[in-house]
Amino acid sequence: MNAPATATGAGPRRSRRALAAGSAGNFVEWYEFGVYGSFATVVAARFFTPEGGSAAEALVQTYASFALAFFFRPVGAALFGRLGDRIGRRPVLILAVGLMTGATTLIGALPAYDTVGALAPWLLTLLRVVQGLSAGGEFGGAVSLMTEFAPPGRRGLYGSWQSFTVALGLLGGACAAALPATVLTQAQLEDWGWRLPFLLALPMGLGALWLRLGLEETPVFREERKLPPPPAREVVRTIALGAGRIMGWAAAGYTFLVVLPSYLQHSLAASFQQALAATVLANLGFAATIVPAGLLSDRLGRRAVMLTGALLVVVLAVPLLDLLQDPGVSTALKGLAVSGAGAVVGLMAGPGPAMLSEMFPTTVRHTGLGLAYALSNAVFSGCAGLIITETVERTGDVDVPAYYAAAACAVSVPALATLPAGGAGRKAR
């Protein structure tokens, strides 16, 4: 399926405003995932550990709740995407950020297991489901908005801001978790300090909501909304291909950027502060390469840049984990290694949104790219923590995260190889 030629008719000012509104809401969506990933062990202790339960069992249950939210992303992508393709990108993006802000804030106020017993994990899981639904609608809407407002030949650059604000959100979540972890005692952190970063989502979400209320609808949507959609069978095939192209990005991204803190603590006996420092470094490396990779893909094509990232993960994942496990390696070198891992993921994440956007015409773009992304993330991101933690626990093999990321990227390589060579960003304007 090829996206038809489009012309946004949007001036630079409107393009920048749309980029800001899409980025701000996307930041809030991913900030929460960064906080939740950073506090996975604390959440496990507060919500999933009845008296007599083991820490490992609680961590697996925490990641099961994490995975459940991801499995609701495709539902959200289908529901919100259908609305976005019918009534417009703007109202759906307003609803998505409102739901995510409310759910994240409520997590910070939830009573824990020692207060309400078995009701605590159910309440947490319910809020995670709401977050999954809203996140499912966010990606398709934000990417559609950014790429439909992009100037000709700049969709790679504009689309990369979706991934860049993912990096900023994850980094912001990790930093927000690191601050109370640094200034509070362990007892204070586990009692009430972990709640503060979740509550901080409220003012941030209100700011993103204000920006989105001032949005205009994309000109290309207004022009093409009445065109007949492509056949459903063709859309389904394209969604499957898109999911295959980004599964390596999904698996490696969550392995190195979200699962890393609890993996380092649980499997390598790192302290909470050391694990958070590693996460911050990985996300800094990730953020550093995303926008340059998107810009480069406008010139060289999506295929060259994304294939390079996937192949590097295949080659380097196991050596990276071995380096982190080696007590003889300096802390500085380990920090450089985790930053490099994040940077490699950025090579896939930068061009990825524009690549998906270009696979679908306007009439099904919100739904199609949202479902491709949500399905891939539901399987390969949402399950990453659960699969890795459970497999390491059962086998004792601490290289499992590397095998997981490398295998997913290896499967993505043939799908990415079907992308057109050359400057894909110049074709569909």
Q: What would the mean pLDDT of 186-196 be, rounded to a whole number?
A: 90
What's residue 426's pLDDT?
42
Give the percent of the chain with pLDDT over 90.
Answer: 47
C-alpha 401: how far from its chain's center?
18
Q: Please tell me the predicted confidence (pLDDT) of residue 214.
A: 87
Q: What is the pLDDT of residue 7?
A: 43
Q: Is residue 115 within 8 Å of residue 401, measured between CB atoms?
A: no
- What lies within 8 Å, CB to CB, of 427 at 6+ separation is 358, 420
Q: What is the DSSP string of 257-302?
A: HTSHHHHHHHHH---HHHHHHHHHHHHHHHHHHHHHHHHHHHHH-H
* pLDDT of 42: 81
For the whole model, what pTM was predicted?
0.82
Supply the pLDDT for residue 277. Answer: 82
| pLDDT beyond 80 at 119 | yes
Q: How confident is the model at residue 54, as a pLDDT?
A: 61
What is the structure's pLDDT at 201? 92
Arithmetic mean of pLDDT, 399-420: 93
* 7-11, 125-129, 182-186, 296-300: which is most confident: 296-300
Chain position carrying tokens 């500085």: 332
Q: What is the set of domains in the chain, with CATH numbers?
A: 12-216+226-426 (1.20.1250.20)
Q: Average pLDDT over the chain, rounded to whole?
A: 86
Q: What is the pLDDT of residues 74-91, one digit of tens each?
A: 999 999 999 999 999 999
Residue 9 amino acid letter: G
Alpha helix (H) residue ranges in 39-154: 40-47, 55-71, 73-87, 89-109, 113-116, 119-149
Is residue 264 pLDDT above 50, yes or no?
Answer: yes
Q: What pLDDT was estimated at residue 285?
A: 93
* pLDDT of res. 62: 66
Provide, for the chain, the percentages of residues in helix, strand and coil under a 3-state DSSP scheme, each rounded to the nearest 5: 80, 0, 20
pLDDT of residue 53: 55
Mean pLDDT over 237-266 rounds to 86
Q: Specify the range with the lowest mean pLDDT, choosing from 39-48, 118-127, 159-168, 258-267.
A: 258-267
Average pLDDT over residues 234-258: 92
Mean pLDDT of 219-242: 91
10: confidence class by pLDDT, cuts 50, 70, 90: low
Q: What is the DSSP letter of 49?
A: -
By percentage, how much of the chain surpasses pLDDT 70? 90
DSSP state of 193: I
Mean pLDDT confidence for 240-251: 94
CA–CA gap between residue 419 and residue 415 (Å, rounded): 8
pLDDT band (50, 70, 90) for residue 425: very low
Please indicate whether residue 225 or residue 96 has the higher confidence score (pLDDT). 96
Write out pLDDT tens, residues 347-394. 999 999 999 999 999 999 999 999 999 999 888 877 777 788 788 888
Mean pLDDT of 222-248: 92
Better-scored residue on pLDDT, 413 or 171? 413
CA separation for the pair 118, 47 (Å, rounded): 8
Over residues 202-207, mean pLDDT: 94
Average pLDDT score over residue span 46-59: 65
Q: Which amino acid is residue 403, in one-letter code?
A: Y
Tens digits of residue pLDDT in 60-71: 666 666 667 778
Instruction: Give the mean model confidence (pLDDT) for residues 194-208.
Output: 93
Model confidence band, residue 418 (pLDDT cutoffs 50, 70, 90):
very high
Q: Given a cut of 70, is residue 315 above it in pLDDT? A: yes
Is the torsion defined by CA of 245, 248, 254, 256 positive or negative?
Answer: negative
b/e burial code for range 357-389 (CB count within 10 A of at least 16 → b)? bbbbbbbbbbbbbbbbbbbbbbbbbbbbbbbbb
- Residue 57's pLDDT band, with cuts at 50, 70 and 90, is low
pLDDT of residue 55: 62
